[in-house]
Copies of this chain bind each other. A is one copy, B any other.
Amino acid sequence: MTKKQNTKADQLGITTRDEDFSKWYLDIIEKADLAEHSPVKGCMVIKPYGYAIWENIQKILDKKFKETGHENAYFPLLIPKSFLSKEASHVKGFAKECAVVTHYRLIDDPDGTGVIVDPESKLEEELIIRPTSETIIYDAYSRWVQSWRDLPILINQWANVVRWEMRTRLFLRTAEFLWQEGHTVHATEAGAEDETVKMLRVYEDFAQNYIAMPVIAGLKPEHDKFPGALRTYCIEAMMQDKKSLQAGTSHNLGQNFAKAFDIKFTDQEGKMQFAWQTSWGVSTRLIGGLIMTHSDDKGLVLPPKIAPIHVVIVPIYKTPQEQVAVEECVESIKQDLLGTDLSVKVDDRDNLSPGFKFNEWEKKGVPIRMEIGPKDLEKNQVVLVRRDTGDKSMVAMAGLVDVVKTQLGDIQESLMQRAIKFREENSHTAENFDQLVLVLNDQSGYVYGHWCGDSACEDKINKETSATIRCLPIDKKNEPGKCAVCGKDSEKIVIFAKAY
């Protein structure tokens, strides 16, 4: 960070990343107008610009889910308390952080000041607001699945869920959040495993090719898997503070829930079998990952494939005559861009200076700013400014749409390359405990090292560094070695890192 940039950032009201990364993150959300805290502890309001990003995420993922054979459905928000207890590990994982509905009516407060809960309206069995929907969905599946002909069931749900988190952070960890949860049922163990990995790869593809956020696909250690799962896969992304963000998970549930919820089918030989299941999800947390991967001290930076607005046009003029000429040209360019599926915003507010507008759209991360003034009209050109690099170019109006499209492609690609470079520069290896502690404490980032599989080894490194094992990368060839913590024989390489 140069001094000048710091000053600029100060003017924008954004803390720099170097100064305080956490504060910077919240400043970006505020200045880009993405979301805000609500009066309900831990719940957020997702504002229109932030929600437009979520809509783009939904649109792209929903298409991918349908292309891979899934349908959407909707299951109840409320889960009977007893359902949670049916799968033993599941209840341990989720019972701690539930919103519990105990009554169903309010009445006037006898003291005349408002309303109180009607004690007469107590529910016989309390209801839990879904923290995740395995139990309520698998209760339905137990009725739907009878024969091998009913399988596979490939269903996804877009929904809100509530987990009573004590320490919340906009997008990354909120009491209520939006997500999708896929829930599938298969006739064979191999069918479930294929699905689990297939959807992990869908997430990986989406993160990398749309959010431009490089991820490592991996397996969670045994002690960190989803409560009730056989195996949990995840994608992990490195943020600009070198901490890791778990950005999506895909679980092979084996037959655990099928046994708990009695999901059985008659196979082709007429024998009764328990079914095999998967579940997988990503959430509004992806928006947090998006922010922390690309944004800078001037504000949000959006990859074009996710950006609600691709190009913002700022008309520049002084006299009314100039205004007419400029606006006419702006309108014509806008129509050209709209005609090719680009999203364009013309900032024609008459009470703000161009400079103010430039800052505002930089804060909001619009990939390309287009400036058009009287001098540009004379020269039949426009000025394009890239949000990612700040590069300015004069571009002839003839062929403008193609240049804009090429620039958008470049921005998408260059954000991805920059993020990969950052991750590679901050990835290390460690052979023994001292190295591991040193690198994690001094340099942070990802540290690849062998791990014997004993959770005690993770506890030990966690105590010294606050890092955890993020995953066992599935695309990394494993060769026998020695556990970087205890020195015992190890088959697998894992990533140690601090994490969100």
Contact = CB atoms under 8 A, between A and B. Distances in A.
A288 B21 CA distance: 51
A96 B102 contact: no
Interface string A30-57: 0000001011100111111011101100
A431 B229 CA distance: 69
A260 interface: no
Interface in A96-134: 96-108, 114-115, 117, 121, 126-129
A104 B121 CA distance: 19
Contacts of A52: 71-72
B127 A117 contact: no
Given A71-B51, A100-B101, A162 B106 contact: no
B48 A72 contact: yes
Interface residues on A, range: 35 or more
B95 A115 contact: yes
Contacts of A81: 106, 114-115, 117
Contacts of A103: 100, 102
A199 B96 CA distance: 43
Task: Find the residue from A43, A97, A351 having the highest chain B CB count within 10 A.
Answer: A43
B102 A100 contact: yes
Nearest to A76: B43
Contacts of A78: 40, 43, 99, 162, 176
Contacts of A208: none
A51 to B, nearest CB: 5
B80 A40 contact: yes
A129 B99 CA distance: 10
Q: How many copies of this chain does the complex contain?
A: 2
A407 interface: no
B73 A95 contact: no
Task: Find the residue from A54, A98, A99, A104 having the highest chain B CB count within 10 A.
Answer: A104
Contacts of A99: 78, 101, 104, 127
A375 interface: no
Contacts of A351: 149
Contacts of A265: none
A485 interface: no
A160 interface: yes
Given A100-B104, A140-B45, A39 B80 contact: yes
A275 interface: no
B48 A115 contact: no
Contacts of A84: 106, 115
A139 B37 CA distance: 12
Nearest to A70: B48
B48 A105 contact: no
A172 interface: no
A166 to B, nearest CB: 10
B82 A114 contact: yes
A500 interface: no
A356 interface: no
A344 interface: no
A86 to B, nearest CB: 9
Contact of A74 (B108, B159, B178): B178
Interface of A: 36, 38-40, 43-48, 50-52, 54-55, 71-85, 91, 95-108, 114-115, 117, 121, 126-129, 136, 139-140, 149, 155, 159-160, 162, 164, 176, 178, 351
Given A77-B176, A95-B108, 13 more contacts: A38-B139, A45-B75, A48-B71, A50-B73, A51-B74, A52-B71, A77-B160, A95-B107, A100-B117, A101-B101, A104-B164, A117-B126, A159-B160
5 contacts: A43-B77, A78-B99, A85-B114, A99-B104, A102-B117
